[in-house]
Amino acid sequence: MNSETPLLHAQNVSYSYFSPIDRKEVVALSDITVSLDRGTIFTIIGPSRSGKTTFLRLINRMQEEISPGKMTGSIYLEGKDIFAPDYDYFQLRREVGFAFDKPQTLDMSIYDNVTFGPRLAGITNKDELDGLVKETLESAFLWDEVKDRLSLNATRLSGGQKQRLSIARSLALRPKLLLLDEPCSALDPVSTARIEEALISMKTKTTVILVTNNTKQASRIGDITAFFLMSKLVEMGPTSDIFRKPKEQQTDDYISGRFG
């Protein structure tokens, strides 16, 4: 890491909640420390129920709405504690975008899908909105496919196109950080390749954290990779090191397919 303040720094983060089924405490994260610089694709791999999605949701404070629980430790965005009482919650949601595993398209035109957030944020100038639509759809590698039918209802797009539109909509507020939770899990290889192209091209503008169960995808596009297992961060480092010479046997076992 360089001397510049990291874009994101999570320090000794633990999180637990009570299961709504049996009311037993579930430990989702245990003592996670991660620092992330700008202009990086950070991939998080690991089997299900290892804490990957919980960590992602904590970064934009979505977790407390989905499964309220107890967090210890701190998460800093550009050196500011996002859980501090005086931190602007709504500003956080503008600066940290989120795209889910299933495409989240609104029942309106492609154009209106992209401009929905900016309009809520007070952007009303049509030239500015037009430019934003072109910029974000190009970043998501979707512009050439839809530029002549921006009035089309977004629900009529293919699954891969809907997912890229979801990414474009997340980019419309020009977030500093984009969080992606298994965005390619339901997509075909061609659509997956297009999204990976888009992520690589956009990292000059926004930093990306990608949770994926596809280790090959992480090895293709990740700059830094972290391996989570049973709520713990087992290992983190340059992606090439994680996949070619992991330090931990558990990491090697997971990547080689011996479990997971």
Q: What is the pLDDT of residues 121-178, one digit of tens each?
A: 899 999 999 999 999 999 899 999 999 999 999 999 998 999 999 999 999 989 999 9
246/57 Cα distance (integer angstroms): 27
Write the burial class of residue 219 (CB in 10 Å: 0-12 exposed, 13-18 middle, 19+ buried): middle
Q: What is the pLDDT of residues 201-232, one digit of tens each?
A: 888 889 999 999 999 999 999 999 999 999 99
Superfamily of domain 8-255: P-loop containing nucleotide triphosphate hydrolases (3.40.50.300)
**Full-model pTM:** 0.90
149/113 Cα distance (integer angstroms): 13
Token reading at 65: 């709405």
Token reading at 167: 């990414």
Measure Cα distances from 114 to 118, 169, 177, 232 in Å: 8, 5, 17, 36
233/29 Cα distance (integer angstroms): 9
Indicate the pLDDT class of residue 2, thresholds 50, 70 and 90: very low
Of the candidates 178, 3, 8, 176, the residue with the CA atom closest to the CA atom of residue 79? 8
The crossing angle, in degrees rounded to 10, of helices 110-120 and 126-139 is 120
pLDDT at 89: 86
DSSP string, 64-77: HHHS--EEEEEEEE
CB atoms within 10 A of CB 211: 26
pLDDT at 3: 52
